[in-house]
Amino acid sequence: MQRITITIEDELLAWVDQVMRRRGYPSRSEAFRDLVRESLGREAAAADPERPCVATLTYVYDHERRDLARRLTHVQHHHHDLNVATLHVHLGHETCLEVAVLRGPSSSVQEAADAVVTQRGVRHGHLHVVPGSDVG
Ligand code: NI
């Protein structure tokens, strides 16, 4: 661990403090470390497409929508080598939530995620990537 000193605008620091309190971080340092990790994780994936990662892909869709459930299954099977597990929750009469755990090279994981979230009728698609150094 190293100690660094940074200069930051009052307004930006107030924003960080607000996030820190809302999320329940025990200290500014812990909040800053997480914010930096979050940002660098995205950069690492972009800089090195072959870098291994594990990721969760979350999305919502209506299973009654014509052909969508079949299209999503097709996309998932196409990327079966990356798919570790999928959790399916029936949120309502038509609405489903799925969380897919993906593992593989960053670019392939991003590609698989894009193939799902760009399907017509898929909403709130979000990929959370944990970069290689933390994958084990
Ligand atoms: Ni369902």
The CATH number of residue 56's host domain is 3.30.70.1150
Do 116 and 66 belong to one domain?
Answer: yes
Residues, CB-to-ion distance under 5 Å, ligand 1: 90, 96
Q: For the chain, what is the mean pLDDT?
A: 89
Same domain assignment for residues 25 and 74:
no
Q: Give the residue numbers spanning the domain of 77.
A: 52-134
| pLDDT for the residue 14 | 94
Dist. CA 53 → ligand 1 center (Å)? 28
Cα–Cα distance, 135 to 103 (Å, whole number)? 9
pLDDT at 107 over 80: yes
Distance (Å, rounded) from C-alpha 39 to C-alpha 122?
A: 25
Contact 96, 60 (CB under 8 A): yes
> Quick check: 73 pLDDT over 70?
yes
Quote the ligand 1 centre to 81 CA distance (angstroms).
Answer: 23
pLDDT attached to residue 65: 85
93 and 42 both lie in a single domain? no
Least confident of 30-39, 46-55, 96-105, 127-136: 127-136
Looking at residue 3, its amino acid is R
19 is a domain residue = yes
Cβ neighbour number for residue 33 with a 10 Å cutoff: 13
The Å distance, Cα 93 to ligand 1 centre, comes to 8
Instruction: Give the distance (Å) from ligand 1 centre to CA of residue 113.
Output: 19
Ligand 1 centre to CA of 49 (Å) is: 33
Residue 76 is assigned to a structural domain of this protein: yes
- In a shared domain, residues 37 and 98: no
| Rounded percentage of the chain residues whose pLDDT exceeds 70 | 95
pLDDT at res. 134 = 64
In whole angstroms, give the CA distance from residue 74 to residue 84: 16
In this structure, are 77 and 26 located in the same domain? no
| Residues 41 and 58 both lie in one domain | no
- Residues 26, 40, single domain; the answer is yes
Over residues 15-72, the pLDDT tens digits come to: 999 989 999 999 899 999 988 887 777 677 777 888 899 999 999 999 888 899 899 9
